[in-house]
Amino acid sequence: MKIILSILIFSFFSVGFAQTSNNNLNSQLQLMKKYFLERNFAEYSNFVYPKVIEIYGGKEKMILLSQTSIKKMEAQGYSILDISFKDPSKFITEGNETQFSITQELTIQSPKGKMVSEFTLIGISIDNGENWKFIDTAGRTKDKIIQKFPNLNAEIIINPIQQKFID
């Protein structure tokens, strides 16, 4: 299970499709899912919240870390089969940002069978929902996320990670 958490931390924002009230958001979630599953981390990184890229030492380092993490995960018998979303929150305005959160589900093949990992993904737009950047909480607590990203509204929903085997 430790490798699953590690890949979630390093892969940041793998996404699937969830119907929200914002068509731009829905399209961008679909594109992110496509790029992640195709392992096109260069395109995928264009959806990453800028401070996350900064935390990891820049875009090139983040891309390399994502590639390395996927290879390590696969070497240990894990693979991501699908990515989807559910339960989008309401949109919140904080300063010049529109923020929301959504539950991200990864279906993973593990050496012990298929499992689903659920955790929160945060979306932020600085242009009234035209373009979105994302923060993958990777199961971190709300307190830890707000420490790293103090611009987040205190009402943002961040649920703890949940994992379960499905076969």
- For residue 162, the model assigns a pLDDT of 94
Look up the pTM and report it.
0.86
In angstroms, rounded to a whole number, what is the distance separating the alpha carbons of residues 83 and 98? 24
> Angle at the Cα of 101 (from 99 to 105), degrees rounded to 5?
150
DSSP 48: B
Is residue 89 predicted with pLDDT exceeding 50?
yes
Is residue 3 predicted with pLDDT exceeding 90?
no
